[in-house]
Amino acid sequence: MSLAKELDTLPGDLQYLFQNFRSYIDFNDKLYFAVACIAFNPIFWNIVARLEYNTHFLTKISGGARNGCYLLAATIFGLGIYRDHVYRDALLDQPTYQPLVDSVIIKALAVFTFGFGNVLVLTSMYALGVTGTYLGDYFGILMDERVTGFPFNINDNPMYNGSTLCFLGTALWYGKPAGLSVAAFVYVMYKIALLFEEPFTAKIYANRDQKKDV
């Protein structure tokens, strides 16, 4: 199919998909489990980080705040790898909307979305370091100043938004409408997580600044 012809047919294909979206989602156990894993991860790290802040239990069992943060980082990273595996496995078991797979435009969009998402995630991790990425402030490992360079100069939450884009890019690449719904769920879960994380992190740094002023 020529690019010009594809540009003519794509809007119609997308309209058909929108009208029949529900029929391309199989609500099976694999999909439910993938959604559960996606929901579990931010709930887990928020609960554990709050417990650490209040009780220092990870610091105590690991022999230091930095060790505790590394332990939590390894756990979160491992859970993320497992979640991604579960998501891909569930996605491949879902109905495919073939026009998405056959479209050169959608394929290019999938590659760009997944690639840019990874750029946001990896560069934010590089800018923050391990402790900055994995809730080191809950362990008392605070940054001297706010990171404002790339990618934070183009996006306030590049880690979460980049991860969401990776889910979206994967769904587009495989032509799975169910994946589009899951990507939307990921976006919502991260927005909810930020409602808990951002005010609490701001409180931690405000307490630090108050102690400096005393």
Q: How far apart are alpha carbons 110 and 24 in whole angstroms?
A: 19
Q: Mutual orientation of helices 29-55 and 65-92 as an angle, nearest 10°? A: 170
* 197 carries a ligand binding annotation: yes
Q: How far apart are alpha carbons 205 and 194 in whole angstroms?
A: 16
pLDDT at residue 145 is higher than 80: yes
Confidence tier at 166 by pLDDT (50, 70, 90): very high
Q: How far apart are alpha carbons 166 and 78 in whole angstroms?
A: 17
- 156 DSSP 8-state letter: S
pLDDT digits (tens, 9 = 90+) for 85-112: 999 999 999 999 999 999 999 999 999 9
> CB atoms < 10 A from the CB of 40, how many?
13
* 117 carries a ligand binding annotation: yes
pLDDT at position 76 is 98
* 132 carries a ligand binding annotation: no
> What domain range includes position 177?
3-15+24-213
Say how many domains are in the chain: 1
Tokens of 142: 């605070």
* 136 carries a ligand binding annotation: no
Q: Classify residue 47 as exposed, middle or buried by CB count within 10 Å of its CB (0-12, 13-18, 19+).
A: exposed
Tokens of 73: 């980082």
